[in-house]
Amino acid sequence: MDSKDENVASRRRLPRGLREERFFRWRGGDVSRIEALSDAVFAFSLTLLVVALEVPQSSDQLVAVFWQFPAFALCFVFLLWVWFEHYLYYRRFGFEDAVTVGLNGLLLFFVVFYVYPLKFLASALITDDLLNQGNVTFGTHGRTVMWLYSGGFVGIFSVFSLLYARAWWLREELELDEAERVVTRGALTGHLASVVIGLASIALAFVIPVLSGLIYFAMGPVQGWNGFRTGRKLKGVATDPGA
């Protein structure tokens, strides 16, 4: 048995819920150069979110730093979600061709671009409210801030949509079974829904800037419904490979 077969065998000895996906055969193998570069960029993006560069020198500074953590946590969770979507895509499909490299590079560009608008809004809406301060101000650029934020958001999920659209286009070459096709369509629909919400935010920023931020609360219900619908379709076509 070669090393690859040994790795596969060791994964199969794990409990079913701790290996891969129940109804999707992962085609990605070892971590590729694309993923290694991407992980470095995600790590750099998380570094840009760092709460403070220096150790607090007084109790007042320590308390001020502490109250920045809720905003940091929100940004951290969002970037972790984007990283997980990236990880899941490469585990599912394992593409390493030139088109994928180009799209992946575009995705990483939008991730880095998105960090500062994300951190700015999180600090303004969470940290300043908790401390009852006005350290972060919009001035006359509230509309521009929302355009920057929503532009990065749309960019990230537009690239994910293109990646999944390409996987769907190549479904025959990938030999996706019915369950895998349902999962792929569900992921594509979810990313497209995120793009639509981001575009709606950009449009609302022209007329009602406040609503351009509130529209993101639709993400929960929309993604929840898409997940429920995908899961229901999956039950209709899937057979448990571990059964």
Q: Is residue 23 part of a domain?
A: no
What pLDDT is recorded for position 243? 43
- Is 24 within a domain? no
Q: Are residues 50 and 120 in the same domain?
A: yes
Judgement on whether residues 152 and 106 belong to the same structural domain of the protein: no
Q: Which residues of 173-206 are buried (b: 16+ CB within 10 A; e: fewer)?
A: ebebbebbbbbbebbbbbbbbbbebbbbbbebbe
Residues 93 and 146 reside in one and the same domain: no
> Is 40 a domain residue?
yes
- Phi, psi (deg, nearest 5) at residue 108: -65, -35
Has residue 218 been placed in a domain?
yes
Domain assignment present for residue 122? The answer is yes
What's the number of domains the chain is made of?
2
Q: Going from the first residue of the chain to its last (243 residues), give the mean pLDDT of each consecutive group of 10, the final group possibly shorter.
A: 50 57 83 88 87 63 70 89 94 91 95 90 69 52 84 96 96 93 96 96 87 90 95 80 47
| pLDDT computed for residue 214 by the predictor | 87
pLDDT at 242: 47
108, 145: one domain: no
Same domain assignment for residues 204 and 170: yes
Judge whether 4 lies within some domain. Answer: no
In a domain, 159, yes or no: yes
Shared domain check, 132 and 35: yes
Check residue 140 and give its pLDDT: 56
Q: What confidence score (pLDDT) does residue 226 get?
A: 96
pLDDT score for 22: 80
Out of 85, 104, 137, a domain closes at 137
Asked if residue 36 and residue 130 are part of one domain, the reply reads yes
Look at residues 102, 121, 137 and tell me which one is the last residue of a structural domain.
137
Give the global pTM. Answer: 0.83
Residues 180 and 202 in one domain: yes
* 228 and 188 belong to one structural domain: yes
Asked if residue 34 and residue 125 are part of one domain, the reply reads yes
pLDDT at 89: 94
- Same-domain pairing of 229 and 148: yes
Shared domain check, 131 and 41:
yes
Within-domain flag for 102: yes
Domain boundary residue among 137, 166, 190? 137
Full residue range of the structural domain in which residue 114 is found: 29-137
